[in-house]
Amino acid sequence: MSTATTLPDAPEFPGGSRLQRFAWNVRHHPKRELWFAWYVMVVFYNLYGVLFFLVTRVQPPPSPDWDTPLVVQWFDEHHLGLLTGFGVVFLISGMCAPMNALLAYSMWRMSVSRVFAYSYLIMYSLAALPGMLVMAIAMTVGALRADRDPELIVWMYDFAFLSFSGTMGVFLVGSVVWLVAILLDKNNVFPKWFAYLGLCNALTEVVVAPAWIFQRGAFAWNGAIAWWINMVVFILYTAAFIVLLRRMIEREDFGTGPLPDPAAKAEPVKAAR
């Protein structure tokens, strides 16, 4: 049986303009912290896509097989995009904290040990380094120090892409922690199929390891297997958990038992839309 607690009392919604409704939600909505973290996640992933794919043009990754003049030329051509894009990346990197907190909260809400939430939180606190910041630092250095020895620029290029594409271990273990929590959970926080999708995602994280060895072909950091298929699975996985986290927040009753079925039970306190 669910031991649901009553949602915190909120004052009567006064009505009014869109801005007033927004202000009321910010001050009184019982799930405002969860919704805040969720919207941060949506904004972050949209920015991440725009910055990495369109502004800096580091994704899809350029060839690992280029010689020194080509790499130097690439830095020269992308100078402005790299500085602008990664400047914004440095600014938004703090958004990872509420995102990771929400992911850990999902495990906190499950009927499993707190160890899952804590270990996931610690791992993903570190994940921003290989997943974003190391590349941002190396690329910014390469773009800002164009006058240095070209061999050092190539070193930065390799360091940036190998750190980004080749260090998926933390994401692999994170996916496994989350999927095991979901499989053990009795509170139905997430559907079991998402755990199985997590297993597929974890296995594709293994596949990028050969990027350290090969400079061309399907297993290079821009290869059909190491990057393209991996990216498709990652996008599907990310889209799935964003939608499922939204459903979790909608169903959240701040209890300790199974999350209520949204069709069976309406929220005691409605958000002002």
Partner 1 sequence: MTNLAESEHVTVPPRRVPGQPDMWLFVLFEAMLFTGYFSVYLALRTQNEDLFLQSQADLDLRVGVFNTIVLLSSSWAVARCVRAARAGQYRSAMTFAAATVGFGVVFAIFKVGEWIHEIRLGNTFTSSEFFQHYYFLTSLHLIHVLIGFIVLGVLIYQLRSPLRRSQELVETCATYWHTVDFLWVMIFAMLYIVR
Judged by the rule CB under 8 A, the positions of this chain that interact with partner 1 are 191-193, 195-197, 199-200, 203-204, 206-207, 210, 213-214, 217-219, 224-225, 229, 232-233
Instruction: Give the length of the chain.
Output: 273
CA–CA dist 147, 154 (Å, integer): 13
Q: Which is nearer to partner 1, 70 or 231 (CB)?
A: 231
CA–CA dist 34, 23 (Å, integer): 16
Q: How far is the CB of 196 from partner 1 (least distance, A)?
A: 3
Q: Which is nearer to partner 1, 74 or 241 (CB)?
A: 241
Helix (H/G/I), strand (E/B), else coil: 112: coil
Q: How far is the CB of 147 from partner 1 (least distance, A)?
A: 36
**DSSP secondary structure of 65-101:** T--HHHHHHHHHHTHHHHHHHHHHHHHHGGGHHHHHH
Q: How far is the CB of 94 from partner 1 (least distance, A)?
A: 33
CA–CA dist 244, 229 (Å, integer): 23
Q: How far is the CB of 198 from partner 1 (least distance, A)?
A: 10
Q: Residue 234 corresponds to which amino acid? A: F
Q: Which is nearer to partner 1, 103 or 226 (CB)?
A: 226
Q: Which is nearer to partner 1, 100 or 230 (CB)?
A: 230
CA–CA dist 118, 86 (Å, integer): 29
Q: Which of 160, 91, 87 is nearest to 130 (CA)?
A: 160
Q: How far is the CB of 122 from partner 1 (least distance, A)?
A: 24
Q: Which is nearer to partner 1, 70 or 203 (CB)?
A: 203
